[in-house]
Structure 1
Amino acid sequence: MRKWFLACAISLFVAYSPALAIAATPVDISKENTYPNPTQDLPYLQPSPFAKQLIETANVKIENPELIRLLNESSVSSTPFALGYRATIYLGQWPLNYQSLETSTNWEYQKVNTNFLDNRGGNTAQKLYYKQEMQKHIRGGLTAPVPNEEAVKKMMLLTAMKKTNLPLSFSTVIGIGTKKDQPYQVPVKKLGYLYAFSPAVNEKGKVTYGEVYIVLKGNKKKIVVKNVMTQGVGAWIPVQDRLSFLYIISDQPR
């Protein structure tokens, strides 16, 4: 009985209201997408035993995959005759780690398509389907420039993927002709508009920079980080192969 009343109420609302908007749950289009987006597979780089030993001596947490890769490719030989040996090796200024403060998803980040059906002259309800009319390239990025942007973006991407469990990438494409078989009913004397949106994750936090030195003293090796500074950073990261829909029934063209 409650379902019957609800159906009647919706029918009356559609018949007499100038517009009805219906938001749909985000859907996966990875199988239907005519553009094969490459999988964004960023492995959590594991430090080598030597790199791990060095990282554990650092006075600041080091998580930058590029710096870890550099340390993995390095080696220092130990010798019993290095008693008075001293050396300091400057590796440069690096973004060392990223701390996430806020992660949220905007399911209507960018409108990518509009499908339309005019049933004002029809005698029966018609069905409207989603079909991508043009290829769309959705790009994300940092909200403000920071030093060593690519390394910062990689750390933010890894963090956001882990927190949201979504397929994220700073660049994704919706191919022309992509479609779904979910029908949207357009009543008699109405117009139907189906808007498709590409979602994106908004990641906000802070990145820590510092000048990195490897200090050798005899057979002892350690990392010293100097001139440490922290900077706020934000980014929009599109969600790959996902769309959210907004369906509007209207009396008049929009």
Structure 2
Amino acid sequence: MKKFAPVLMSMLLIMTILPTAFAEKATVKREAVKYTVPSSVRNISKENTYPNSTQDLPLLQPSDLTKKLIDSSKIKIQNPDLIRMLNESSINSTPFAIGYRAIVYLGQWPLNYESTETSPNWEYQKINTNFFDNRGGKAPYKIHYVQESQKIVRGGLTSKIPDAEMVKKMMLLTAMEKTRLPLAFETVIGGGTKNDHVYNIPANRLGYLFAYAPGVSEKGKVTYGEVYLMLKGNKKFIVVKNVTSQGIGAWIPVQDFVSFGFIAPEHPR
């Protein structure tokens, strides 16, 4: 019996781990499906008559010194502007620094943003309506999307907050990472933009083709604090004081995507 004890223990361990592993895979799968683009939403980046500039906000890589300073802080630091400032700083060490002490106040900063909800709204803002009256027709009429006039779609924070531009940058980075969508706080759909997908208006019906700019609702919490650089002998570290947190939300348009809705009623809408 003792010979089989290790085998039995191994089997019990595998049976315990497998359900957890499958549950983790299922969770990942659900998360991936959550932001799947519906079939009614189409990418118009090639057809858009207004060339939107790509919103490229790569995560800024901290230098070795900056990484050590960030790791020394008890409060998480994600603000790219603060990281950039620390990257541009240099602190020379000296073997004769025994007893040396200095405190450098770097100011009050939004330190990090923690997301609690990220949800796409595929009909965030209506941008166009194409219409045709086929009530006198005897055969179906084909209609497709043509943007009648240029439309600027803007997002923004849902409330006033200190250092809004820095907060928007952190929220944008978070939302882009979670959704894998091309997001920007402003996008433009140029007049004359088209899409070749055809919608049929039956005879004796009216046809309405609505176009919407999608957007993402991003909600979470931003943490502020007063940042101090402490120099003590050869040691260098960051201390954050007077830490506060504030809830914040934002609407962020999806760039160069359009969501379509088509109806063919008997009477005008």
Query: TM exceeds 0.5?
Result: yes
Q: Structure 2 residue aligned with 1:58, among 51, 61, 73?
A: 73
**Which ranges of 4 or more aligned residues in structure 1 deviate by more than 6 Å?**
none
Residue in structure 1 matched with residue 233 of structure 2 by the alignment: 218
Q: Structure 2 residue aligned with 1:70, among 77, 85, 91?
A: 85
Task: Using the TM superposition, give the Cα deviation of residue 109 of structure 1 relative to its aligned residue in structure 2, in angstroms.
Answer: 0.5
Letter aligned with residue 185 of structure 1: N
Q: Structure 1 residue aligned with 2:100, among 85, 96, 100?
A: 85
Residue in structure 1 matched with residue 207 of structure 2 by the alignment: 192
Task: Using the TM superposition, give the Cα deviation of residue 59 of structure 1 relative to its aligned residue in structure 2, in angstroms.
Answer: 1.2
CA distance in 2, matches of 1:78, 1:130: 65
Residue 149 of structure 2 is aligned to residue 134 of structure 1: yes
Residue 61 of structure 2 is aligned to residue 46 of structure 1: yes
- Would you say the 8 A contact 1:24–1:245 is kept in 2? no
Task: Using the TM superposition, give the Cα deviation of residue 125 of structure 1 relative to its aligned residue in structure 2, in angstroms.
Answer: 0.9
Letter aligned with residue 250 of structure 1: P
Mapping for residues 1-254 of structure 1, pairs under 5 Å? 25-254=40-269
Task: Using the TM superposition, give the Cα deviation of residue 78 of structure 1 relative to its aligned residue in structure 2, in angstroms.
Answer: 0.3
CA distance in 1, matches of 2:93, 2:256: 51
Provide the aligned length of Structure 1 versus Structure 2.
232
Gaps of 5+ in 2: 1-37
Letter aligned with residue 126 of structure 2: K
- Would you say the 8 A contact 1:45–1:68 is kept in 2? yes
- Would you say the 8 A contact 2:40–2:261 is kept in 1? no
Task: Using the TM superposition, give the Cα deviation of residue 252 of structure 1 relative to its aligned residue in structure 2, in angstroms.
Answer: 1.4
Q: Secondary structure, in 3 states, of the residue corresponding to 1:159?
A: helix
- Would you say the 8 A contact 1:203–1:237 is kept in 2? yes
Q: Secondary structure, in 3 states, of the residue corresponding to 1:36?
A: coil
Letter aligned with residue 59 of structure 1: K
TM-score (norm 1): 0.90
CA distance in 2, matches of 1:27, 1:64: 33
Q: Secondary structure, in 3 states, of the residue corresponding to 1:206?
A: strand
CA distance in 1, matches of 2:238, 2:227: 7
Q: Secondary structure, in 3 states, of the residue corresponding to 1:99?
A: strand
Deviations 1:4-40 (Å, cap 9, x if unpaired)?
A: xxxxxxxxxxxxxxxxxxx962110011000000000
Gaps of 5+ in 1: 1-22
- Would you say the 8 A contact 2:220–2:249 is kept in 1? yes
Higher-helix-fraction structure: 2
Letter aligned with residue 192 of structure 1: G
- Would you say the 8 A contact 2:122–2:213 is kept in 1? yes
Task: Using the TM superposition, give the Cα deviation of residue 124 of structure 1 relative to its aligned residue in structure 2, in angstroms.
Answer: 1.1
Deviations 1:70-107 (Å, cap 9, x if unpaired)?
A: 00000110011111111000000000000000000000
Larger RCO, structure (CA 8 Å, separation 6 or more): 1
Give me the identity figure in percent. 66
- Would you say the 8 A contact 2:130–2:208 is kept in 1? yes
Q: Secondary structure, in 3 states, of the residue corresponding to 2:145?
A: coil
Deviations 1:100-150 (Å, cap 9, x if unpaired)?
A: 000000000000000001101111111011000010000000000111000
- Would you say the 8 A contact 1:59–1:225 is kept in 2? yes
Q: Secondary structure, in 3 states, of the residue corresponding to 1:157?
A: helix
CA distance in 2, matches of 1:63, 1:123: 63
CA distance in 2, matches of 1:43, 1:245: 31
